[in-house]
Amino acid sequence: MNISILKNKKCLYLDNAFVLSNAEIVDYPIVYSNDGFTKLSGYLRTDLLSKSSTCNFMYGELTNAETQTKIHDALENCHIEQVEVLLYKKNKTPIWVFMQIAPITNERDVVVLYLCTFTDITALKQPIEIEDAKTSLSKFARIAKSVTRNRSILMNFAAPTTKSITIDPTKPSHLPNVC
């Protein structure tokens, strides 16, 4: 196999973040976290062990209560769930994550673990209202900033074999027509 293909595949998975938690103990304590989650959260592995896989230790004042309930219900009722949730790193920096919860069963079909994966989607979300209040950006400026940021993120995710997109700076933008 081509070495560059292997390197590209490895790069795609560097930022994967996940925890495994015990489904048979109250509060579903974390029993393992990978490097991606420690990088995402700012917590050390030793800090994370035995904390709840609901990640309630990362909730903050702007974390949606309905989303918190969905996470808790998925763990209580042993079902798959996907949510977008605002969490806070150890240093209190807010981050938006796409969280997926999946029960793992043993040979007797009993749920024994939960796999919780986290994808940082902060750059794809609208800036948090607090940031908007501080910068007082107009609606157009926020949209332009978001489009620019999202385009660069999507370009980073593009496979090396995809055709690159070029923008003609002489053509007018249609972005003002969107507002």
- In the CATH scheme, what is the code of domain 3-124? 3.30.450.20
**Residue-range domain boundaries for the chain:** 3-124, 129-178
| pLDDT of res. 179 | 42
pLDDT of residue 171: 62
Nearest to 23 by CA among 52, 65, 59: 52
Rounded mean pLDDT for each run of 10 residues along the chain, 179 residues in total: 47 73 96 96 95 96 96 96 97 96 96 96 73 56 60 51 53 52
Q: What letter would DSSP give residue 63?
A: S
DSSP E strands: which ranges in the chain? 17-22, 30-33, 81-88, 94-105, 111-120
For residues 95 and 97, what is the distance between their CA atoms, to the nearest angstrom? 6
